[in-house]
Structure 1
Amino acid sequence: MSESVIADFVATFDSNVLRTTDPVKGRVLLSEKRLVLAVGDNDKLPVPLTSIFDVAVGQVPDELDGFFDATVTVAFRKNDKRFVAAIEAPDDKIEKFSNVLFKALLNGTDMTVKHPARVGGRVTDAEFSAAKLFLKPKQVEFRNDEETVAIRLAAVTEFDQTKRRIAGTKRPVLDVKHMPRGDAMLTQVTTDSPRKMSLLGRYLRLEYSDLMAELKDLTLTEDEKELLVAVYSGAGNKGMSLPQIIGKDPTEVTMLLNDLEDEELVVDASDGTKLTPKGQVLVNRHLEDINA
């Protein structure tokens, strides 16, 4: 591989393009132009990044169920046909490789961004403008000469793909609803490449599901749950006293709020304390348990 290698490790893999019919061990090499699966010196499968149209992490093809555990499955086109390659390695390697692969596929993509398209319930007069896409840990960035729009995935409440007319052409648009400072906001993004749009959607869903999975391991005290429900009910708005509503000392409430903020469950917004998307999910689950 003449170009610079950005990932090189040993893994077990399987593809319906390789000569072997069984999963084999070999080298996985990734550059900014291609992915190569190599078994020895003679059997190599080069996959140009431009031919990859989907990447699934943790999903094992049915025919390999029982063989593979932690995997990255890459779907690609070769000679106008669709193929898949499943790559298995330890969890930490799969996590690192999937992040590097998504960056190689998406970083620098030409995007069209409208930010903010809406703040709260107010539609803004912002226009769609050109930007470059870059992936960062737990967030995505859209950069141009004027600004960088950074969206933290922990602040996202919903993703939705719609169709909108831009410059006279109807195009698929990704609506990202998020709360960067506790205030509801809508950012809309699109690109000329349906393939890149699909890969970006896959990456966002993957990262967002990982963030939500972290909530399963989060344990809150009854006081913290009570405080979250109070904030959910609007008690964190200006003019309303959280200590009075939940019957706690102001100092104790401040300490509880600091703990919840450290866990990214609440945030100080322009009009008082608000739940983050993660906090909203926790409260919804708590209320479901109570009402069950």
Structure 2
Amino acid sequence: MNERVIADFVGQFYVNDMDRAEPVRGRIVLSPKRLVLAGEDCKVTIPMAAMFDVAVGHVPPEMREFFSDTVTLAYNTDEGRRMAVIEGDADTMEKFSTVLFKANLNGREVTVQHPARRGGRVVDSPAKQARLSVDDGTLAFRSGDSSFSIDLATVTDFEKERRTLDGTSRPALSVRHVPRTTALVSVFALTSERLMNLLGRYLRLEYTDIVESLSDMSLSDEEVQVLLAIYSAGEDVDPLDVVAADASQTTMVLKGLRKKGLVVDDDRGTALTPKGRVVVNSRLEEVNS
């Protein structure tokens, strides 16, 4: 392959139109233009532009006896849609999935409104054309001489919706993130449904990592009360002034929440971290459901 290689490793793979029931061991080679799966007696080439979905860790039920650490690709061919399941060791697959998303998304043109909301207030920011890049858990947007980035560790929620950007109604991603202590909502739309789907997958993967890191964390009723108080009171209010409990006890609870990475202190007081906001959002959803 006379192209720049960005991933090259030995693993096993299965494509759902293969004339066999078991996966093939072979070489997996990725360039900016295509993915090549090469076994001893078969070769599959998947153009980058044909990929429309990437799932990390998901194994189709019929293949679970053969695979564990996987990346599953859905792609279009002249004969219809196909699926390829690729497996390697855990570290390799984590790196491969990141490279695969970057190869699909980096340098793409995007229409972005940042921010569309600040706190609970709508902001009249103009929609701009920018170039997207994905690197080290960050979405970066460059437009002319200006740029901004979203650290995906600060994302607390996102959803796909229709938005009017630059006078055109189109599918867009609305991303809620907390770069410091104020929640922002940024909206962006890529040029195709395929790329929008892949970006949504990438965000979902990062968000799932945050949620999973919280799944084994136990919280007392007092800790939940303090988190909700910080959320309700706002970033400029001292939790000791609003929590209906002994001040020394609240101080001890806050110390525990800091160790768990759910609150942080800055020059304006105590605020929720992105993980803290995920916890609060889940508690509010339980109350409202």
TM-score bracket, shorter-length normalisation: 0.7 to 0.9
The answer on whether the counterparts of 2:22 and 2:66 sit within 8 Å (CA) in structure 1 is no
The corresponding residue for 2:275 is: 278
Decide which moves more: 46-55 or 148-157.
148-157
Q: Structure 2 CA distance, aligned partners of 1:235 and 1:53?
A: 41
Decide which moves more: 237-246 or 168-177.
237-246
The answer on whether the counterparts of 1:226 and 1:246 sit within 8 Å (CA) in structure 2 is no
TM-align CA RMSD: 3.0
Unaligned runs of at least 5 residues, structure 2: none
Instruction: Please give the secondary structure, in 1, of the residue aligned with 2:3.
Output: coil
Q: Structure 2 CA distance, aligned partners of 1:275 and 1:132?
A: 31
Shift of 1:246: 4.1
Instruction: Please give the secondary structure, in 2, of the residue aligned with 1:205.
Output: helix
Q: How does 1:96-135 map to 2 (within 5 A)?
A: 96-135=95-134
The corresponding residue for 2:33 is: 33
Q: Which amino acid in the other structure matches residue 7 of structure 1?
A: A
The percentage of counterpart residues that share the same residue type is 45
CA-to-partner distance for each residue in 1:100-148, whole Å, 9 max, x for gaps?
Answer: 1111111111101000111122222211101111112233121223332
Q: Structure 2 CA distance, aligned partners of 1:121 and 1:229?
A: 17
Q: Which amino acid in the other structure matches residue 87 of structure 2?
A: E
Q: Structure 2 CA distance, aligned partners of 1:239 and 1:206?
A: 34
Instruction: Please give the secondary structure, in 2, of the residue aligned with 1:100.
Output: helix
**Shift in CA distance, 115/30, structure 1 to aligned 2, threshold 3 Å:** same
The answer on whether the counterparts of 2:109 and 2:131 sit within 8 Å (CA) in structure 1 is yes
The corresponding residue for 2:171 is: 172
Instruction: Please give the secondary structure, in 2, of the residue aligned with 1:5.
Output: coil
Unaligned runs of at least 5 residues, structure 1: none
**Shift in CA distance, 201/286, structure 1 to aligned 2, threshold 3 Å:** closer
**Shift in CA distance, 123/18, structure 1 to aligned 2, threshold 3 Å:** same
**Shift in CA distance, 225/119, structure 1 to aligned 2, threshold 3 Å:** closer
Number of residue pairs matched?
287
CA-to-partner distance for each residue in 1:130-187, whole Å, 9 max, x for gaps?
Answer: 1111112233121223332221223223211111223332211111122222212111
Q: Structure 2 CA distance, aligned partners of 1:154 and 1:244?
A: 28
